[in-house]
Amino acid sequence: MTETYRTKMLILGSGPAGLSAAIYGARAGMEPIVVQGLQPGGQLTITTDVENYPGFRDVVQGPWLMEEMTAQAESVGTRMIFDTIVDVDLSQRPFKMIGDGGDVYLGDTLVIATGAQAKWLNVPGEEALSGKGVSACATCDGFFYRGKKVVVIGGGNTAVEEALYMTNHSDDVTLIHRRDSLRSEKILQDRLFANPKISVMWNKTVEQFVAGGDPKGLVGVDLIDTQTGEKSHIATNGAFVAIGHAPATEIFKEHLDLIDGGYIEVEPGTPKTKIPGLFACGDVMDHVYRQAVTAAGTGCMAALDAERFLAKEEFELMAAE
């Protein structure tokens, strides 16, 4: 038997953005409901060492951090529901969401915090070595490769920015690109080519990531030349896959304005979408920073704006009477 849930603030997604929105919304008496989605806790649940989230002097584990954040949200009055949304109606308020089991969720306001996933190469060794030398976020994990040899794979803005960032930690950074020219902005290319710590390998694709050592971790990358088919190998301690991210917005593409490969468009400097009462926060709208702490910050902003939206609406109704 299906059920219908109604709340002042409905939140889709349970990563740092969604849970921060829930904490602030609950403290404002909005009794939020969080629909947790396919990956409760978001990307941090598949991240081992987290060293850059404020408040912890020692390295913490991503899954533990999200468990604590979830418990905090529940302790102040948030209701967590394990479900995946398969259909939405944003044409009127309350906003209506349908779960894959038929349950109905109604929200006077809606906070979309469904996040984004890094795109992967899907080659041998990539999954097995994730967190053991292979990463999709240099700003998250680059610190662990201080003084080591690293490679960055990709040719767009993200890849060039990651390569430049890694020069803060490594004097030996190699950018591997499958074409003979980069797709990134010229100003970024100029910075890349001028940096003596960075070399570029053109016309190369990754055949596999190679493990070794004790305990086993990344020791190198096997490559294939895209023009000649020649195989080669580059030894490395760290590999950063930087071929873009895919925001989880497929279900909203007919309802909201999407930009830059599927990110939800918001009013600059805010989590407000074009639909009054509907907010987007975290990696689903942020294609620039993509950090847990910035996601949490925009989640806070979404909750504050949602509370103010309802308060203004209530005031206007009272004034009209």
Q: Give the chain's domain count.
A: 2
Q: Active-site positions?
A: 137, 140-141
Tell whether 89 and 229 lie within a shared domain.
Answer: no
Q: Which of 146, 115, 121 is nearest to 47 (CA)?
A: 115
Give the pLDDT band (50/70/90) at residue 104: very high
Cβ-count burial 131-169 (b if 16+ within 10 Å, e if not)? ebbbbbbbbbbbebbeeebbbbbbbbbbbbbbbbebbeb
Give the pLDDT band (50/70/90) at residue 293: very high
Tell whether 290 and 232 lie within a shared domain.
Answer: no
Higher-scoring residue by pLDDT: 201, 287: 201
Higher-scoring residue by pLDDT: 234, 215: 234
CA 119 to chain centre: 11
Paired tokens of 92? 């009127």
Tell whether 105 and 133 lie within a shared domain.
Answer: no
Beta bridge partners of 152: 175, 240
pLDDT for res 262? 93
Plot region of 42 (φ>0 → left; ψ -120 to 50 → alpha; else → beta): left
Question: Domain ends where: 242, 260, 291?
Answer: 242
CA distance 59 to 132: 16
pLDDT for res 217? 96
Mean pLDDT (whole number) for 77-105: 96
Tell whether 41 and 111 lie within a shared domain.
Answer: yes
Mean pLDDT (whole number) for 201-226: 96
Tell whether 186 and 275 lie within a shared domain.
Answer: no
Tell whether 165 and 132 lie within a shared domain.
Answer: yes
Tell whether 150 and 253 lie within a shared domain.
Answer: no
Bridge pairing between strands 258-259 and 198-201: unpaired
3-state secondary structure of 231: strand
Dihedral over alpha carbons 143, 149, 155, 158 (to 10 degrees): 0
CA triplet 218, 139, 210: central angle to 5 degrees? 10
The rounded mean pLDDT for the chain is 94
Asked if pLDDT for residue 210 goes beyond 90, the answer is yes
Q: Find the domain containing 215 and state its range.
A: 121-242
3-state secondary structure of 194: helix
CA distance 117 to 244: 9
Tell whether 249 and 111 lie within a shared domain.
Answer: yes
Which CATH number does the domain housing residue 301 bear?
3.50.50.60
Tell whether 263 and 230 lie within a shared domain.
Answer: no
Tell whether 162 and 77 lie within a shared domain.
Answer: no
Tell whether 85 and 131 lie within a shared domain.
Answer: no
Question: Domain ends where: 194, 221, 242?
Answer: 242
What are 110-167's pLDDT values in tens digits?
A: 999 999 988 899 999 999 999 899 999 898 899 999 999 999 999 998 899 999 999 9
CA distances from 283 to 46, 212, 222, 258, 314 (A): 16, 34, 31, 13, 31
What are 235-282's pLDDT values in tens digits?
A: 999 999 999 889 999 999 999 999 988 999 999 999 999 999 999 999
Q: Report phi then psi at 237, rounded to 5.
A: -95, -25
Q: Please, is 267 exposed, middle or buried when counting C-beta atoms within 10 Å of its C-beta (0-12, 13-18, 19+)? A: exposed
CA distances from 164 to 5, 129, 180, 197 (A): 48, 23, 19, 9
Question: Domain ends where: 242, 258, 289?
Answer: 242
**Sheet-wide strand order for 134-135:** 134-135, 238-241, 149-153, 172-176, 198-201
Mean pLDDT (whole number) for 159-181: 96
Asked if pLDDT for residue 303 goes beyond 90, the answer is yes
Tell whether 175 and 213 lie within a shared domain.
Answer: yes
